[in-house]
Amino acid sequence: MPPIVFSNHALRHSGGIERYLLTLVDALHQRQIRPTVVARRFDPTLHEFGWVDPVRINTWGLGGALRDRWFDQRLRRLKRQQGWYPLIALNQTAAADIAICGGTHPGFLAATGKRAGWKDRLAIALERRHLEAAAVVIAHSTLMAEQVQQFYGIAEAKVQVLYPPVDRQRFHPVPPAQRRALRERLGLPHDRAVFLLASTGHARKGLDLLVRALGHSEQPVLLVVAGRPVEMQAPNLRYLGYRSDIEDVYRAVDCTVMASRYEPFGLVGVESVLCGTPLIGAEGMGCMEVLRGDAATPFRVDQPDSLASAITRTLARWRAGQLTLANPLESLRYDPSVDAHLDVLLDWVARLRAARQAA
């Protein structure tokens, strides 16, 4: 049987798209399927590294758009040589047969108010080839599906919305006593409402907005940040470092908060909710499409009073002891299981192979 082939920047713990690939590799391993992964970088210490056939494309220290274009050229050559079909591309490449769309570069520029420079134009050109070359585009949110059509003119029939999966064996609620124990282990106070920002890109994630709203508040609040180091300082701000146990951090805090200026989906929001911890989230983020009821309190990033109001409402629920979600799955509008997501991907693989054989 031909291999399942993925391409991505890396197989390692990093951003959301890397975590997505690791999740798929784990699920395929459970089905005794060993995929081929083509990437620039691999972490050989990961269990997942032993569950794939790694193919490394060396980019020799090239940076940014030039590195991505070199990777694209080498990948297309390898694809022809090896006869890989269909190739599931998580990175931007014209080699894609199934193009995973976890974000769009024009959407990012529009949301952040940035003008396109020459590097942006190179990235947009490669992204266009990525989306146009593919037989199907898998958009991780309705927001992404709309942007693919808006910015690149991709036919609606070619775009399929498939929300990203979450490992429910890892992200799930625990009893109240265990939540309290986790809170004590992290040294978090019991007399303050603790808000979590999980971030590897603080500017895009709106750390500055949250520090203004929470870091200097006179309310009984604490803002904790997990991820990249924080250069800001504030009385109610604490850095937790990079966490490989982020699921326990979700369970230990009272609320997760996302003030992203651009968020194609935002797995953090769904992961937090599945752990029983609600979200304060910026309107327009992809994950806000799938959260309902008390799981998500929306606000507008361009209206400081809106964030303040969301925090006030959340504090009222905290004081009443009504923040923790009793039935997280009921708060989601889709099945977040990895198997459900993988079934759809593998069905597309089978359909494209059948269509090629019939041609």
Residue 132, classified by CB atoms within 10 Å of its CB into exposed (0-12), middle (13-18) or buried (19+), is middle
Q: Diameter of the chain by CA atoms?
A: 68
Predicted confidence (pLDDT) at residue 62 exceeds the cutoff of 80: no
| Over residues 302-314, mean pLDDT | 94
| Over residues 46-75, mean pLDDT | 91
- Break the chain into its structural domains and give their ranges: 5-165+337-358, 176-331
Predicted confidence (pLDDT) at residue 229 exceeds the cutoff of 90: no
pTM, whole model, 2 decimals? 0.89
Can you give the three-state secondary structure of the chain, one letter per residue?
CCCCEEECCEECCCCHHHHHHHHHHHHHHHCCCCCEEEECEECCCCHHHHHCEEEECCCCCCCHHHHHHHHHHHHHHHHHHHCCCCEEECCCCCCCCEEEECCCHHHHHHHHCCCCCHHHHHHHHHHHHHHHHCCEEEECCHHHHHHHHHHHCCCHHHEEECCCCCCCCCCCCCCHHHHHHHHHHCCCCCCCEEEEEEECCHHHHCHHHHHHHHHCCCCCEEEEEEECCCCCCCCCEEEEECCCCHHHHHHHCCEEEECCCCCCCCHHHHHHHHCCCCEEEECCCHHHHCECHHHEEEECCCCHHHHHHHHHHHHHHHHCCCCCCCCHHHHECCCCCHHHHHHHHHHHHHHHHHHHHHC
Tens digits of residue pLDDT in 35-46:
999 999 999 999
| Over residues 113-117, mean pLDDT | 91
**Is the separation of the CB atoms in 131 and 101 below 8 Å?**
yes
CATH code for the domain defined by 5-165+337-358: 3.40.50.2000
The confidence score (pLDDT) of residue 188 equals 97
Distance CA 337, CA 172 (A): 12
- With bands split at pLDDT 50, 70 and 90, how would you rate the model's confidence at 320? very high
Phi, psi of 90, rounded to the nearest 5 degrees: -90, -15
The confidence score (pLDDT) of residue 255 equals 98
Tens digits of residue pLDDT in 184-194:
999 999 999 99
The mean pLDDT of the chain is 94
Predicted confidence (pLDDT) at residue 119 exceeds the cutoff of 80: yes
- For the chain, report the end-to-end CA distance as a whole number of angstroms: 19
Predicted confidence (pLDDT) at residue 61 exceeds the cutoff of 80: no
Distance CA 103, CA 42 (A): 23
Predicted confidence (pLDDT) at residue 179 exceeds the cutoff of 90: yes
Predicted confidence (pLDDT) at residue 64 exceeds the cutoff of 80: no
Q: CA angle 264-104-344, nearest 5°? A: 65
Q: Decide yes or no: CATH 3.40.50.720 for domain 176-331.
A: no
Phi, psi of 47, rounded to the nearest 5 degrees: -55, -40
- With bands split at pLDDT 50, 70 and 90, how would you rate the model's confidence at 133? very high
The confidence score (pLDDT) of residue 77 equals 97
Tens digits of residue pLDDT in 73-103:
999 999 999 999 999 999 999 999 999 999 9
Q: In which residue are the tokens 């947009």 written?
A: 124
| Over residues 314-343, mean pLDDT | 95
- With bands split at pLDDT 50, 70 and 90, how would you rate the model's confidence at 60? confident
Q: Examine domains 5-165+337-358 and 176-331 and report if their fold is the same.
A: yes
